[in-house]
Structure 1
Amino acid sequence: MDSNKKYWKGLEELNRTPEFVEKNKHEFAEAIPIEEVLSGGGLSAKTPRRDFLKALGFGVGAVTLAACQKVPVHKSIPYLVKPEEITPGIANYYSSTYDGSAILVKTREGRPIKIEGNPGDLLSKGGLSAQAQASVLELYDTSRVKDPKLNGNPTGWPQLDKFVKDELTAIKAGGKRISIVSSTVHSPSTLAVIADFITAFPTASHVTYDAVSYTGIIQANKNSFGKAVLPHYYFDKADVIVSFGADFLGTWISGEEFTSQYVKNRNNKSLEAKKMSRHIQFESGMSMTGTNADVRMPIKPSEDGVALMNLYNALSGTTLPGSKKLTNANADKAIVLVAKELLAAKGRSLVVAGSNDVSVQTLVNAINSLLGSYGATIDLDNPSRQYAGNDTDWTKFVADAKAGLVDAVLFLDANPAYDYYNTKDIEAALKKVRLKVTFSDHDDETAALCNAVAPNHHYLESWGDDSAIEGYYTVVQPTINPVNNTRQAEESLLLWSDNAVKTYYTYLRANWETNLLAKGALAGQAGWEALLQKGFINAAPAATGTYSFALDLNAVAQTILSQSGKIAAGGKYELQVYQTPAMRDGKKANNPWLQELPDPVSKVTWDNFAAMSPSDIKDLGLDEFQVVTIKGVNGYSVSLPVLSQPGQARGTVSVAVGYGRTAAGLVGNNVGKNAYPFYNLLNGTFQTTSAVSVDVTSDIFPLSQTQTHHSFEGRNIIREATFTEYKKNPAAGSGKEGEQEKMYDLWEKSVDDASHSRPVYDWVMAIDLNACTGCGACVVACSAENNIPVVGKDEVGRRREMHWIRIDRYYSYDNGKGEFNVTKEREIDELKDFENVSVVHQPMLCQHCDHAPCETVCPVLATVHSSEGLNQMAYNRCVGTRYCANNCPYKVRRFNWFNYWNDSRFDNYLSNEHTQLVLNPDVTTRFRGVMEKCSMCVQRIQAGKLKAKIEKRPLADGEVKVACQQTCSANAIVFGNRNDPNSEVSKALNSERTYYVLEELNVKPGIGYQVKVRNTLSDLQA
């Protein structure tokens, strides 16, 4: 472990800005002014809460009485005839599907309250993304369309059906075209319904349009191998992974699946076998995948193709015409080293690129063919069905509609009026279309241009199926009756086309009986019921073939160089448009859990921004959060606050899409700015890289970040080592190398033994920093499980976020060769550009300390230690002194400044009559004036113990999973009983890599962390 290494959460902490120093002087984040208590309003007064209580003559007794007042009682009506499958107080689980992944839906008294991954899921192995976890909240969204609409007015389904059928019949008779425009559909039954609709209306066609396109990869595979498919990648089979701008752990194709694969060669089991993959990332903006790379090289977006040309040259021993050096000399050197590693790992390597350019992806194909990746780490014979959008078909549809050749368009899960780069073209095209129908369940931007809205069910109200990967089929089944007067889009298509089958459930059953159940050797009613219980079938995969590349690359190289030159000559800065793991393409912008989830890299909530290199910001004379106007070559411009982002390539700006919605709903409207218009059509595909100008304004627009709300004052909490050091000494970096300091107990030994005796259960946790990617899915899972409220941008900006678990992100200096542990503190002070930084993500939650500092200072014993090792809260005792928060060295306790669930000021977030239905009845909703924090999902522990007791057996290891653990695709979090020496958590905590954060304080935390290990390029040179 390098004691000279310095970590910082953000540049404000590194530079010790006056604002940062001032904020961290205070005992508490912010005092409550008198005006706020009296009126719920202003925040200008300086009177602390304790002084306010004294001024009004309140003592501790009065505060205790106020804290113990009962919340209003709402009477419920018991079941007159109880449904057979529902037992009050007992959860039911239903198998279903979210975006191709098999899931389990937890319901209580007939209402879905929690989404879990199906452990047998082919993609994420039981893990789930933040978006999947948050999807249950969308079911209760009051912004959803309540009834069908005609010309903007609510109507009934019979009236809407008559109008649409009459129009379709007239259009069919006139011979004009009908288009179904959808995002990628990988449901076999939905595709069959669309095919039947086209049969009924011969002039109809299906146009697939994805807001974020992968046409470049599909077309490149068609050109290279005659297979127009999106490959299925296997990161677990790759010893060397090289990515050029592909955020494959986050937003690129199938992030949860790739995360599950990726960590298999980097976790405890792999390291104990002295095996670890090496990952090198070339990119412009700091992505979540880039933060996890062993070596990260910042390059401009226009240089992706040039870098791939240089890599191809180094691998093949040839020189493509026009090859040139990169502006980053270290990246040039790295490519030579990377080529040697890739050649040494032929058949066990993988090169991917995030570009949507056909020429760039063709060059990637050539490289992977040289390395023998096809049939090994890349599968073209069992491809992915995700992101099948065709940019050429879509642009032709827009042109034809503008020309008046299309008389009807039906939008299914597509919102081009928001996410197409040329919205004026969409508006002009739809003015020429006679019948415009959308199946959107929100009055979104496209719905405003349609004359009919036929609102679709939420997926938790629907029947259906899915097949995201060839040969893998999952089922969708409803878990609740429709909340609104909606109808499934497939059923509408069946009715409008006069299909012999009138209900979609009947159609779905017939399709499975005829075509799909046989793949899983199932048949009849028994087979269907077995499918509904299991949730999926997995057919035998097709034989995987090898493919050779035979295209002439000279023309490809010329196209790459020509396009790169145009971008580089177009302006001083290059713009990179990207997706965030929470907001993705913006369809879920009205979900407050996602809006409040901190971005994995910037830790910004509730906004997008312009990320720039600290060097560029300094050259422009900008202050943090100063607004800049970014103008593209197409004339589109937006004004956004600038964020100084370490790791950003110089001369580049990064802006996230998915923001700037104007018709998302109460939560998502006018949050951030729309970056989609910066897209452009190049070489037949939609691309995100372009030249821009950056103009400085005098405005300041503060961003709400969570990262620097809590300071550890430079204490050693992150520990890491290189793979070379680990192989020599598995305890490298953990602090166990030298003589251990003797620790003492606060109490007499006999007293300590009596009060902390745990004869049966000792609940502890282990977190592997080598597996955690920082995605934040655990944060949303915890919010859903434990009724954690959303507080909004303003409250987050006041350091009042309520998340029980946070993912801290720490920077450290990297000298550009992957030698991250050679820099001394004085060198950081002289650092000029901050381009070369390494990142570590650390989940931080209540540590459930055996010598918990919070317990010793609580005047009313609201926080106490259980006989099973848990630090527990008795909310009815808490009077809100916040002494415990002040005394917690980990800063993981949260204070309820407001009654968030019932205060009218938070109506846009969670306090309305519908979203109350998502609350977990097993967890108390906390009220104003009390502290709360991670409980280790004690309700799950008790449920697991009770089940084992009823079945008269011991509780098995792994039977109780906490919410954050269960959703983690990387299996970075392990929870269990330390008293069981064979438990997974005991084995993890006994690892030589395990250390405890701030263990020198002798608080005896119950959570152990495993050292971060990097397989760096310096190891290559060694």
Structure 2
Amino acid sequence: TFVGPRLSLTGANADEWIEARAGTEGAVALAVAGVVAAARGVTLPAGVSAVSPEAVADAAGVSADAIRALGEELAAAENAVAIPPGLESQGAAARQAHPAVAALNEVLGAVGTRVFPGGGAPEGTTASFADIQALIGRMRAGQVRTLIVSGCNPAYALPAAAGFGEALANVANTVAITPHLDETASACGWVLPCHHALESWCDADLADGAMALGQPLMHPVFDTRQREDLLLDVANAAGQGGAFAGADYATVLRSTWTERLGGDAAWLDALRLGGASAAAWAGDEGADSGADPAPAGGVDGFAAPQAPDGTQLVVYPTAQFYDGRGANRSWMQEQPDAITKVVWNSWVEMHPDMAESLGVDRGDVVRVESAQGAIEAPVYVYRGIRPDTVAIPLGQGHTEYGRYARNRGVNPLDLLAANADPGSGALAYAGTAVTVSATEETARLVVTQGSTDDQDREIVHAMNVEDALHEVEAHEIDLVELVEAAWDSDPNSPYRWGMTIDLNACTGCGACVTSCYSENNIPTVGEEQAALRREMSWMRIHRFEEEAEDGGFQTVQQPMLCQHCGDAPCEPVCPVYATYHSPEGLNVQVYNRCVGTRYCANNCPYKVRRFNWFNHDARGRGDGGAFAWPLNLQLNPDITVREVGVMEKCTMCVHRINKAKIDAKEEGRTVRDGEVMTACQASCPSNAITFGNLKDPESEVSRKAKSARGYHALGELGVRPAITYLEDVTHRHMPAGGHGEDEEAH
């Protein structure tokens, strides 16, 4: 169950949605805790007063019955756990939400069994927004003569209302130590270029006393230096160099770790492991992180939230950009947003009811205005948001920070007040009231998925968990289908490569898409070409909304890539035999045969082939190309870089297959199960993707392909895909005869 104002990626993977207003999640958690405690006959933790569902229902915008039903459901569950809200719900009472969730976990019996409180960040290592506000006040008053900024971009990442930019102008000496010319660096008097994180030595104090250790993974690309070496030079110039045990940071780091751990052997072991445990780092002193103790769950002084007036604004981080730090990565700009599938831009999410009242639709520009400022951006209509709420993603709207980030989209932080949570000092991202109005203008909004409805084509399947259990019991394996699939290769070959993708495990994060870009030298094409549907991604993530019996919808995420069909429609139409069926069952694309007729793309029912309309290196486009120096250094030497006029698609990482076969041949054997992992499989955080040999009946991919949940996308076409999808399973009841209940799909 997800509680919040907007179905985020986490919410989209939930079975139930309680549409609470942003910033009221803590109040809902406390009310639910009271229901659970009463149902289980336990008392609330010390310092926690019971709050009734009726007391918070109006402010949260949720019925008391829904809150009570959630509490009763959790009370009856055996292994329930609650997780506090994220940054998008961090309001003026954010500090209250976490103890409230801790109290709920306490009455659920999760603390010590499923939830293990840690010490958190060591005291004094992290400045809160309230601390930054105090610094800004001193800067305004002329009390700061020299300011050194490194590792952050406050001129962009703080609300404009905080006044950091104006205060910075009052500081006589401003220095930015940074690998990027971002907004803050551009406003500083001195810019000292430093190494990227992948070029640097570093260590970090983790929770509970453990230490992390990092070493350079590559030589410096530019004429830069380690950040700490620059600071050491400043210390030496100021006559303070004797305080450090080394001429450079690498020496200081090694001497410190060697002394602490007890010798060079321990240092080398820490390098290999990437750090040291709390016990090893503490040595004879005993493991003590010096961190604040975990909150005990008290919610002293809890104030029930008040029902807000007007439209509420939600600003939220994305996987691509977070708070804006990823916006200068072309891969991230061209990675479709997990929910909207928008690329290269900002947007305003609103409920269909609000869009209808304003007379706007997707791509129409609206003006969002608060007491602090106003922005204009195109609309994305999304029914996974409250009707009284609009949402804008963080990360765009840069005025500096490189060619991919500059002057692209809007920064919703311009709408926020410089308010801090009095309990924690954190910035209040939630709680801003706005007015929304139509502008009678339209803007280009590039959405890579045409519809969230699969038009009853059975592309994705979702089924109730009880139906899934019934199907497992009644499932009979179709041996004819399995034999056909396994032998869609040369009978003399020991291999028929295939894949399974578990839609119940897939979260739709898109890590597989980006890893495919990285592994296979796939170019980014930019906003204009993406608007013409000329993006080059070999994989895409479908997000379909399947209707449920309760009138809501169930989101199903589906990675779509070349299916490597046993009877592939693309193969017979190629006039030059550039695409053909390999002896191991792969659908192969030979680049130097391709003459670019694009017949194969026209005949592909899955629309997963990509055509190179341009050369994407420095010769190809006016913006310098996707691989202009130094981006050419990221190219995988095992993969050909394709040129204009050539078709390309997923190869199932055939170069990795060939390497495993060569290694196996040297040992006089065949490839073992698990020795080949495709790039998408290796990057999947939920292990939704399994790859292997379908001819091996003991392989994991063969076992999963026989699952009762298994089906083929567009299976009625009879093209015998090598990819088997496993149906999504939900606690919601799907309509009878709906997706997932077609017997022929099994």
Shorter chain as normaliser: what TM range? 0.7 to 0.9
Which residue matches 1:804? 538
Pick closer, same or farther for the CA change 1:857–1:821 going to 2, 3 Å.
farther
- For residues 808-957 of structure 1, what are the structure 2 equivalents within 5 Å? 808-813=542-547, 820-821=548-549, 836-905=552-621, 907-908=623-624, 910-957=626-673
Report deviation, 1:384: 5.8
Which residue matches 2:255? 510
- For residues 353-392 of structure 1, what are the structure 2 equivalents within 5 Å? 353-354=85-86, 355-356=89-90, 357-383=94-120, 388-392=126-130
Pick closer, same or farther for the CA change 1:758–1:493 going to 2, 3 Å.
farther
Contact 1:592/1:909 (CA < 8 Å) preserved in 2?
no
Q: In the alignment, which of 953, 966, 970 is matched to residue 686 of structure 2?
A: 970
Q: Write the deviation string for residues 484-521 of structure 1: whole angstroms up to 9, x where unpaired.
A: 11111111222222333221111111122123xx4xxx
- For residues 543-582 of structure 1, what are the structure 2 equivalents within 5 Å? 548-552=296-300, 555-557=301-303, 560-561=304-305, 564-565=306-307, 568-569=308-309, 572-582=310-320
Contact 1:996/1:1009 (CA < 8 Å) preserved in 2?
yes
Contact 1:632/1:691 (CA < 8 Å) preserved in 2?
yes
Distance (Å, rounded) in 2 between the aligned partners of 1:423 and 1:822: 44
Report deviation, 1:789: 0.5
Q: Write the deviation string for residues 441-460 of structure 1: whole angstroms up to 9, x where unpaired.
A: 12211112212111120122
Which residue matches 2:433? 691
Report deviation, 1:332: 4.0
Contact 1:309/1:323 (CA < 8 Å) preserved in 2?
no
Contact 2:32/2:53 (CA < 8 Å) preserved in 1?
no
Contact 2:489/2:582 (CA < 8 Å) preserved in 1?
no
Which residue matches 1:349? 81
Which residue matches 1:525? 264
Which residue matches 2:47? none
RMSD: 3.1
For the residue of structure 2 that corresponds to 1:453, the secondary structure is strand
Pick closer, same or farther for the CA change 1:611–1:757 going to 2, 3 Å.
same
Matched, 1:333 2:65: yes
Which residue matches 2:46? none
The amino acid that maps onto 2:436 is: V
Distance (Å, rounded) in 1 between the aligned partners of 2:121 and 2:266: 26
Distance (Å, rounded) in 1 between the aligned partners of 2:288 and 2:75: 26
Which residue matches 1:445? 183
Distance (Å, rounded) in 2 between the aligned partners of 1:956 and 1:531: 32
The amino acid that maps onto 1:778 is: C
The amino acid that maps onto 1:850 is: G
Q: Write the deviation string for residues 462-485 of structure 1: whole angstroms up to 9, x where unpaired.
A: 122335443554332223321111
Which residue matches 2:42? none
Report deviation, 1:754: 9.7
The amino acid that maps onto 2:7 is: M
The amino acid that maps onto 1:495 is: D
Contact 1:616/1:650 (CA < 8 Å) preserved in 2?
yes
Distance (Å, rounded) in 2 between the aligned partners of 1:1018 and 1:483: 54
Report deviation, 1:667: 1.1
For the residue of structure 2 that corresponds to 1:897, the secondary structure is coil
Pick closer, same or farther for the CA change 1:741–1:637 going to 2, 3 Å.
farther
Q: Write the deviation string for residues 528-570 of structure 1: whole angstroms up to 9, x where unpaired.
A: 3343344344446979999754453xx312xx42xx33xx12x
TM-score (norm 2): 0.87
Contact 2:580/2:587 (CA < 8 Å) preserved in 1?
yes
Q: Write the deviation string for residues 936-955 of structure 1: whole angstroms up to 9, x where unpaired.
A: 01111111222233344543
Which residue matches 1:167? none
Contact 2:193/2:224 (CA < 8 Å) preserved in 1?
yes
Report deviation, 1:1008: 0.7
Report deviation, 1:382: 5.0
Distance (Å, rounded) in 1 between the aligned partners of 2:19 and 2:534: 34
The amino acid that maps onto 1:370 is: V
Matched, 1:1002 2:724: no
Report deviation, 1:910: 1.6
For the residue of structure 1 that corresponds to 2:377, the secondary structure is strand
Consecutive unaligned residues of structure 2, counting only runs of 5 or more, are 39-49, 281-286, 736-746
Which residue matches 2:443? 701
Q: In the alignment, which of 529, 532, 556 is matched to residue 795 of structure 1?
A: 529
Q: In the alignment, which of 403, 408, 414 is matched to residue 671 of structure 1?
A: 408
Which residue matches 1:494? 232
The total of aligned residue pairs comes to 696
Contact 2:6/2:19 (CA < 8 Å) preserved in 1?
yes
- For residues 684-763 of structure 1, what are the structure 2 equivalents within 5 Å? 684=422, 685-689=426-430, 690-708=432-450, 714-730=456-472, 756-757=490-491, 759-763=493-497
Which residue matches 1:248? none
For the residue of structure 2 that corresponds to 1:429, the secondary structure is helix
For the residue of structure 2 that corresponds to 1:841, the secondary structure is strand
Pick closer, same or farther for the CA change 1:659–1:744 going to 2, 3 Å.
closer
The amino acid that maps onto 1:368 is: N
Distance (Å, rounded) in 1 between the aligned partners of 2:271 and 2:11: 39
Which residue matches 1:33? none
Report deviation, 1:810: 0.2
Distance (Å, rounded) in 1 between the aligned partners of 2:508 and 2:562: 18
Pick closer, same or farther for the CA change 1:788–1:573 going to 2, 3 Å.
same
Distance (Å, rounded) in 2 between the aligned partners of 1:976 and 1:742: 20
Pick closer, same or farther for the CA change 1:949–1:312 going to 2, 3 Å.
same
Q: Write the deviation string for residues 777-801 of structure 1: whole angstroms up to 9, x where unpaired.
A: 1111000110101001111111111
Distance (Å, rounded) in 2 between the aligned partners of 1:935 and 1:473: 40
The amino acid that maps onto 1:338 is: L
Contact 1:306/1:323 (CA < 8 Å) preserved in 2?
no
Contact 1:407/1:435 (CA < 8 Å) preserved in 2?
yes
Report deviation, 1:698: 1.2
Which segment drifts farther, 326-335 or 931-940? 326-335
Q: Write the deviation string for residues 982-1004 of structure 1: whole angstroms up to 9, x where unpaired.
A: 22212221222211112221111
Distance (Å, rounded) in 2 between the aligned partners of 1:490 and 1:533: 22
